[in-house]
Amino acid sequence: MGKTISEKILSNHAGKPVKAGDVAVCSVDFCFGQDGTSAIIIDSFKKLGVDKVFDKSKFCMVIDHSAPSPNIGVSEIHKKMRTFAKTFDVGLYDIGCGVCHQLIPQNGHVTCGDLVLGADSHTCTYGAINVFSTGVGSTDLAIALASGKNWFKVPETIKMIVKGKLPKGVTSKDIILHIAKDIGADGATYRSVEFYGEAISDLSVDARLTISNMAVEIGAKAGLMEADKKVLKWVSERTKKAPNPVKADIDARYCMVKEYDVSNLSPQVAKPHTVDNVSGVEELADVKIDQAYLGTCTNGRIEDLEIAAKILKGKSVHRDVKFIVAPASKEIYLEAAKKGIVKALVDAGAIIVAPGCGPCVGTHNGVLADGEVAISTANRNFKGRMGNPKGFIYLASPATVAASAIAGKIADPREYKKRL
Amino acid sequence: MMKHFARRLKVQDNINTDYVISGRYKFKIQDPKELARYIFEDIDPEFAARVKKGDILVAGDNFGCGSSREQAPVALKQAGFQAVVAKSFARIFYRNAFNIGLLLVECNTNFIDDGDELEIDIEKSKVHNTSKGLKLDMKPLPMVMRKLLQDGGVIEHFKKHGGFKFE
A226 vs A241: CA distance, rounded Å: 18
Q: Is residue B84 part of a domain?
A: yes
With CA atoms as reference, the chain A residue closest to B27 would be: A36
pTM flag (> 0.95): yes
pLDDT digits (tens, 9 = 90+) for A280-339: 999 998 899 999 999 999 999 999 999 999 999 999 999 999 999 999 999 999 999 999
Burial of B132 (0-12, 13-18, 19+ CB in 10 A): middle
| Total number of domains constituting chain B | 1
Q: Do both A41 and A88 map to the same domain?
A: yes
Domain boundary among A260, A283, A312: A260
By percentage, how much of chain A surpasses pLDDT 90?
99
Q: Inter-chain contact A71–B28, Cβ cutoff 8 Å?
A: yes
Tell me the pLDDT tens digit for each residue of B19-52: 999 999 999 999 999 999 999 999 999 999 999 9
- Give the list of residues 6+ apart from residue A86 with CB closer than 8 angstroms, or none: none
Q: Which of B18, B88, B154 sits opposite A139 (nearest CB)?
A: B154
Is the domain of A226 the same as that of A299? no
Closest among A58, A62, A78 to A330, alpha carbons compared: A62
pLDDT > 80? residue A114 = yes
Q: Do the beta carbons of residue A149 and residue B142 sit within 8 Å? A: no
Cα separations in angstroms, A298 against A34, A302, A305, A357, B154: 16, 12, 12, 10, 32
pLDDT at A358 over 90: no
Give the Å distances, CA to CA, from A95 to A226, A356, A357: 33, 8, 11
| Four-CA torsion A139, A144, A149, A150, nearest 10 degrees | 20
**How many angstroms away from the CA of B96 is the closest CA of chain A?**
6
Q: Which residues of A touch B142 (CB under 8 A)?
A: 23, 153
Q: What is the length of chain B?
A: 167
Q: Is residue B106 included in any domain, yes or no?
A: yes
Inter-chain touch B62–A185, beta carbons under 8 Å: yes
Residues A184, A253 share a domain: yes
Report yes or no on B166 lying in a domain. Answer: no
B22 located within any domain: yes
Number of A to B CB contacts under 8 A, please give it: 145
Comparing CA positions, the residue from A391, A162, A406, A185 lying closest to residue A276 is A185
- pLDDT for B39 equals 97
Q: Is A134 helix (H, G, I), strand (E, B) or coil?
A: strand
Same domain, A253 and A272: no
* Residue pair B155/A44 in contact by the 8 Å Cβ criterion: yes
**Nearest Cα residue in chain B from A119:** B68
Return the DSSP state at B134.
E
Pairing of strands A278-280, A268-270: antiparallel
Q: How far apart are alpha carbons B50 and B8 in whole angstroms?
A: 11
Q: What is the CATH number of the domain that holds A146?
A: 3.30.499.10
Q: How many whole angstroms separate alpha carbon A44 and alpha carbon A53?
A: 13
Does residue B25 form part of some domain? yes
Query: Tell me, what CATH number does B137's domain have?
Result: 3.20.19.10
> How many folded domains does chain A comprise?
2
**Residue B167, domain member (yes or no):** no
Cβ atoms < 10 Å from Cβ of A145: 30
What's the mean pLDDT when you consider all of chain A?
Answer: 97
The DSSP-derived string for B52-120 is: -TT-EEE--TTBTBS---THHHHHHHHHT-SEEEES-B-HHHHHHHHHTT-EEEEB-GGG--TT-EEEE
Task: Tell me whether residues B96 and A23 touch, CB distance under 8 A.
Answer: no
A83, burial (CB in 10 Å: exposed 0-12, middle 13-18, buried 19+): exposed
3-state secondary structure of A7: helix
Q: Give A282-302 as a DSSP string.
A: GGGTT-B-SEEEE-HHHH-SH
In order, the DSSP letters of A16-78 are: S---TT-EEEEE-SEEEEETTTHHHHHHHHHHTT-SS-S-GGGEEEE--TTSS--SHHHHHHH
pLDDT tens per residue, range A249-262:
999 999 999 999 99
ipTM: 0.96
User: Which residue stretches of A163-292 are H helix?
Assistant: 172-183, 198-201, 205-213, 229-236
Closest CA to A411 of A420, A311, A402: A402
Which of the listed residues A218, A239, A260 is the one where a domain comes to its end? A260
Residues of B with CB under 8 A from a CB of A: 14, 16, 18-19, 22-24, 26-30, 41-43, 61-62, 65-71, 73-74, 88, 90-92, 95-96, 99-100, 142-144, 153-155, 158-159, 163-164, 166
Are residues A137 and A43 part of one domain? yes
Q: Measured between beta carbons, which residues in chain A are less than 8 angstroms from residue B66?
A: 121, 216, 380, 382
Q: For residue A77, what is the nearest residue in chain B, using CA coordinates?
A: B28
Of the partner residues A37, A66, A185, the one whose CB lies closest to the CB of residue B68: A37
- Stated as kind and residue range, the H or E segment containing A308 is helix A302-312
> Within a domain: residue B73?
yes
Burial of residue B133 (number of CB atoms within 10 Å: 0-12, 13-18, 19+): exposed
Are A231 and A155 found together in one domain? Answer: yes
Residues A76 and A132 in one domain: yes
Put simply, the answer to whether B28 touches A136 (Cβ < 8 Å) is no
Q: Give yes or no: residues A359 and A319 share one domain.
A: yes
**Rounded distance between C-alpha atoms, residue A21 and residue A35, angstroms:** 33
| SS3 assignment, position A205 | helix
> With an 8 Å Cβ cutoff, are A73 and B66 in contact?
no
**Computed from CA positions of residues A377, A381, A383, A387, in that sequence, does the dihedral angle turn out positive or negative?**
negative
Q: Are residues A250 and A277 in the same domain?
A: no
Domain span including residue B32: 2-161
B130 Cα to chain A: minimum distance (Å): 31
What confidence score (pLDDT) does residue A1 get?
84
Same domain flag for A144 and A251: yes
Same domain (yes/no): A224, A323: no
Q: Do A121 and B68 touch (CB under 8 A)?
A: yes
- Model pLDDT, residue A299: 98
- Identify whether the C-beta of residue B51 lies closer than 8 Å to the C-beta of residue B7: yes
Q: Are A139 and B155 within 8 A, CB to CB?
A: yes
Q: How far is B27 from chain A (nearest CA, A)?
A: 5
Low-confidence ranges of chain B (pLDDT < 70): 1-3
Residue A388, min C-alpha distance to chain B (Å): 8
Which structural domain range is residue A52 located in? 5-260
Nearest to residue B35, comparing CAs of B53, B46, B48, B51? B48
Q: Are residues A232 and A374 in the same domain?
A: no
Residue of chain A minimizing CA distance to B22 = A384
State the pLDDT at residue A94: 98
Question: Which tens digit of pLDDT belongs to each residue from A158-204?
Answer: 999 999 999 999 999 999 999 999 999 999 999 999 999 999 999 99
Element (H, E) at A374: strand A373-376
